Copies of this chain bind each other. A is one copy, B any other.
Amino acid sequence: MKIIKTISELRTCIQQERSFSKSIGFVPTMGFLHEGHQSLLQHARENNDVVVLSIFVNPLQFGVNEDLDRYPRDFERDEQIATKNGVDILFYPAVAEMYPKEMPMTITVTKGVDVLCGQSRPGHFDGVATVVMKLFQLVQPTNAYFGQKDAQQLAIIMNMVESFNIPVTVIPCPTIREVDGLAKSSRNVYLTERERIEAPFLYKTLQEARALIQAGETNRTKVVDMMKRRLAQGLGQIDYVEVLSYPDLEIDDTLKGQIIIALAYRYEHARLIDNDIIHIKEEE
């Protein structure tokens, strides 16, 4: 595995791989890799000649009140996980390499940012879109892998690729779960014992919503209300419960086409998110 820290070295390397017409699978991350990331790397490894992993904690996607400096980092551990998962190129640039000066322009996301996690993080997805655009231009991947767990991020990246005609295929990868259904997250360790026992009910609530919709319910409010009633019985607080079109992220009172059921739930020391994406079959 090659560890590359500079853009010029990465360019040389990518140009060489492309000249051999090799397919490039790309997994962009902020490091501190967990099983979700490993699953993305495995998908990339199975379907591409070359696997590129990037580790870059992107300052642009942190708000003023979000602590960029406290974001967890462990490069040595990440390096081992990358090696174990067959990464060929690990791109690990410094902030000054990615942003040598203030950006004279950025991507401004105007659609799908006033819902879900975007509500509490203004500007966050502008920062995500901007850095992913840069990374796509640098790595020039054939395929790029993103987890469905961060469904809003995935939607915005898919919209970006479509809107700007970027020559890359975005591959959504399923959420990795514990045996009891709880979505894997580095935040799960912050749960108390009682909270950890309860937490799988978030996924169960999503499954009940799915069952309700698959049984023919097309009234958005009824689905949202059922979920809110269910979640109100838990130890934590509801942050949001939403049912939206996907990946457009629009509110439509009558459910149809591809939709996302999403929730965010606050326990004492951890805010957990989870979602389910459903394709509603048209009546014939």
Contacts and interface: CB of A to CB of B under 8 A. Distances in A.
A212 B7 CA distance: 40
Interface in A211-237: none
Interface residues of A, number: 31
A133 B111 CA distance: 19
A108 B104 CA distance: 9
A106 B107 contact: yes
A129 interface: yes
A107 to B, nearest CB: 5
A163 B103 contact: yes
A96 interface: no
Interface of chain A, helix or strand or loop or mixed?
mixed
Nearest to A160: B105
A102 B111 CA distance: 9
A164 interface: yes
Interface stretch (A28-36, A134-142, A177-185): A134-142
Interface string A106-117: 111111100000
Contact of A104 (B7, B106, B163, B166): B163
Nearest to A248: B104
Contact of A105 (B103, B104, B105, B107): B107
A188 interface: no
A108 B109 contact: no
B108 A164 contact: no
Interface in A120-163: 129-130, 133-134, 137-138, 140, 156, 159-160, 163
A77 interface: no
Contacts of A138: 165, 167
A165 B11 CA distance: 10
A80 interface: no
B104 A112 contact: yes
Given A104-B112, A133-B164, A134-B163, 11 more contacts: A102-B111, A103-B110, A104-B111, A104-B156, A104-B248, A105-B111, A105-B160, A106-B110, A107-B108, A130-B164, A138-B167
9 contacts: A11-B167, A104-B112, A105-B159, A105-B163, A106-B107, A133-B164, A137-B164, A137-B165, A140-B167
